[in-house]
Amino acid sequence: MTPFDFARADTPAQAAQLAMAAGASAKTRVAHPSRFLAGGTNLVDLMKDDVERPELVIDINRLALSAIEELPDGGLRLGALATNADTARHALVAERYPLLASAILAGASPQLRNAATNGGNLNQRTRCYYFYDTAAACNKREPGSGCGAIGGVTRIHAILGATEQCIATHPSDMCVALAALDAQVHVTGPQGSRVIPFADYHRLPGDEPQRDNTLHVAELVTAIDVPPADFGRHTTYLKLRDRLSYAFALVSVAAAMRVDANGVISDARVALGGVAPKPWRVPAAEALLEQATASRELFSRVAERLLQGAVSQGDNGFKIELARRAIVRALTQAAEGRPQSQSDKRIA
Amino acid sequence: MDTPYPQNQDTGVSAVAGQKTRSTLSLSLRVNGHVRALRVEPCVTLLDLLREQLRLTGPKKGCDHGQCGACTVLVDGKRINSCLKLAVTLDGTSITTIEGIGADGALDPLQQAFIERDAFQCGYCTPGQICSAKALLNENVARTRDEVREWMSGNLCRCGAYGNITDAVMDVLQSNPGAQP
């Protein structure tokens, strides 16, 4: 671990102020010489590998951002510093957003979920091997150095949204559910506070693969709002991985829909994880489900539309067919009101 | 007490909100019931503090990346990977390691069950397994074998004693009839 300065912030304004000051006096030319430290499960790990070498670590654990509160419209506000574990087991989350609870519980391990925070979950970095290997080229870690993954070992990499500069995936499960639920991210920084729709929070690599999201310098996530949802049992989080637990998704699907007494579907959402640089939604695919009734043929068409443009990088071509089948299965589960269990691993 | 970390001129100060520092910081932890006044550099993880400064070598440095669970300890009763937690962020908390669970001649029921079920071979992962299982019982999340396996999945056992570990945890779970999932 490269030595760093340490500071504690007691308010979001103080955190932003420390980060701005660090930027002004940066010894290196990196864009963000400081890092906010919450649970540490990703940042500390990256610092051990010298992937992250902040000049200043700002401890934000004492900020009053741990609450999970009901909003006047019936939605929920998830504090950025509430842990993933506390969020998943919160009565209102479990009752109103079983999709979110299920996705959280599909990720990591109990120990990691006890430390990892909601804000940190959004801001975690990719688990691309070449990003972690400081001897390899990586445009995300070292802009302009190239991409070691392209032409390399690509089993875990993106089939959608990749560019010639970066083919890394976003690793989160929680974010896939938050994308499906149309969450909103509250952030605050030197220019004040703003709200970012979830679809606009994470970004595709474009010409700046080093930027995973649309946060400005010194901005801090303070909360995530989840709007009211009325899907009943018609949701599921289906995660496929190389072992039964404690592994990142090769492909995951968050599906939610309303189904009326005649079996007519409305308000359907499908988000994919493990396949792209951000949770992947395609409005045109979801529109195919509107006012339709469940059928394998319909769900296959939705899958085709979601995966339009999917390409193999060599080792990950299997993900295209795996994702196609996972989408059909998840939509079937959601339509029938049979959510995937995260402890009984048999696919429902 | 020996410490492997080069100590700066020891100021012994607590972190002051809004001010950056690279020097050693003072820290108060309750470790296995005893209050300890400590001084650590910001880069020191809880695992290194426990093992190197406090000589509590029950928590193991298996992978040092939060992937194996051998370093599992309880912080205010919750299980975490101590290898991924900077000690300076834990001021005022209460830590329980395997050394704080049971005693000679008075084993914790989990420790007894691990012996009776032969739930280890080399024993390296066992302190983490037992700390994790201790938390699992408090969390009231697991009732079935499938659930125990899922909620113990953060602890790897390279000898492959998983079946017996699950048996041991199930024994203790089922001897607690009051517990609700």
User: How close is the nearest chain A Cα to the Cα of B103, in Å?
Assistant: 24
pLDDT confidence band for A20 (50 / 70 / 90): very high
Q: Phi first, then psi: what are they for A195, rounded to 5°? A: -120, 130
Residue A237 scores a pLDDT above 50: yes
Q: How high is the mean pLDDT of chain A? A: 96
Instruction: Give the pLDDT of residue B19.
Output: 82
Q: Let me know if residue A297 belongs to a domain.
A: yes
Say yes or no for a CB contact (<8 Å) between A115 and B154: no
Under 8 Å between Cβ of B135 and B97:
no
Say yes or no for a CB contact (<8 Å) between A41 and B81: yes
Q: Global pTM?
A: 0.95
Say yes or no for a CB contact (<8 Å) between B43 and A1: yes
Instruction: Give the pLDDT of residue B13.
Output: 59
Residue B5 scores a pLDDT above 60: no
Instruction: Give the pLDDT of residue A32.
Output: 73
Q: CA-nearest residue of chain A to B22?
A: A5
3-state helix vs strand vs coil in chain B, percent to 5: 35, 20, 50
Token couple for A120:
């940190």
Token couple for A16:
């932003």
Could you tell me what percent of chain A has a pLDDT over 90? 95
Q: What is the DSSP letter of A151?
A: T
Domains, in order of start, for chain B:
25-100 (3.10.20.30), 109-174 (1.10.150.120)
Residue B6 scores a pLDDT above 50: no
Count chain A–chain B contacts defined by CB atoms under 8 A: 114
The model's pLDDT over A46-73, given as tens digits with 9 standing for 90+, comes to 999 999 999 999 999 999 999 999 999 9
Where do the H-state alpha helices sit in chain A? Answer: 12-24, 43-48, 84-89, 91-96, 98-106, 110-115, 118-123, 129-132, 174-180, 198-201, 283-287, 296-306, 318-336
CATH code where residue A10 lies: 3.30.43.10
Instruction: Give the pLDDT of residue B181.
Output: 46
Q: Let me know if residue A301 belongs to a domain.
A: yes
Under 8 Å between Cβ of B20 and B5:
no
Q: Let me know if residue A325 belongs to a domain.
A: yes
Closest Cβ opposite residue B86 in set A40, A111, A343:
A40
Instruction: Give the pLDDT of residue B178.
Output: 55
Residue A234 scores a pLDDT above 50: yes
Distance from the Cα of residue A103 to its chain's centroid: 10
Q: What is the CA radius of gyration of chain A?
A: 20
Q: Comparing B15 with A200, which gets the higher pLDDT?
A: A200
The model's pLDDT over B154-177, given as tens digits with 9 standing for 90+, comes to 999 999 999 999 999 999 999 976
Amino acid occupying residue A161: G
User: How close is the nearest chain B Cα to the Cα of A91, in Å?
Assistant: 14
Beta strands in chain A (DSSP E): 5-8, 34-37, 56-59, 68-70, 76-79, 184-189, 192-197, 220-226, 235-240, 251-259, 265-273
Mean pLDDT of A147-163: 98
The model's pLDDT over A74-100, given as tens digits with 9 standing for 90+, comes to 999 999 999 999 999 999 999 999 999
The model's pLDDT over B22-76, given as tens digits with 9 standing for 90+, comes to 789 999 999 999 999 999 999 999 999 999 999 999 999 999 999 999 999 999 9
Q: Does B168 touch chain A (CB under 8 A)?
A: no
Q: Let me know if residue A255 belongs to a domain.
A: yes
Q: Let me know if residue A244 belongs to a domain.
A: yes
Mean pLDDT of A184-209: 96
Task: For residues A307 and B154, give the distance between their C-alpha atoms in angstroms, rounded to a whole number.
Answer: 33
Q: Let me know if residue A15 belongs to a domain.
A: yes
Instruction: Give the pLDDT of residue A30.
Output: 53
Instruction: Give the pLDDT of residue A186.
Output: 98
Closest Cβ opposite residue A246 in set B78, B144, B154:
B154
Q: Let me know if residue A34 belongs to a domain.
A: yes
CATH code where residue A248 lies: 3.30.390.50
Say yes or no for a CB contact (<8 Å) between A10 and B17: yes
Q: Does B19 touch chain A (CB under 8 A)?
A: yes
Chain B interface test: which of A8, A63, A346 (most B C-beta within 10 Å)? A8
Structural domain boundaries enclosing A24: 5-61
Residue B3 scores a pLDDT above 70: no
Within 8 A of A45 by CB-CB distance, chain B residues are: 65-66, 84
The model's pLDDT over B99-125, given as tens digits with 9 standing for 90+, comes to 999 998 999 999 999 999 999 999 999
Say yes or no for a CB contact (<8 Å) between A37 and B45: no
Task: For residues A231 and A214, give the distance between their C-alpha atoms in angstroms, rounded to a whole number.
Answer: 30
Name the domain count of chain A: 2
Residue B11 scores a pLDDT above 80: no
The model's pLDDT over A262-277, given as tens digits with 9 standing for 90+, comes to 999 999 999 999 999 9
Residue B12 scores a pLDDT above 70: no
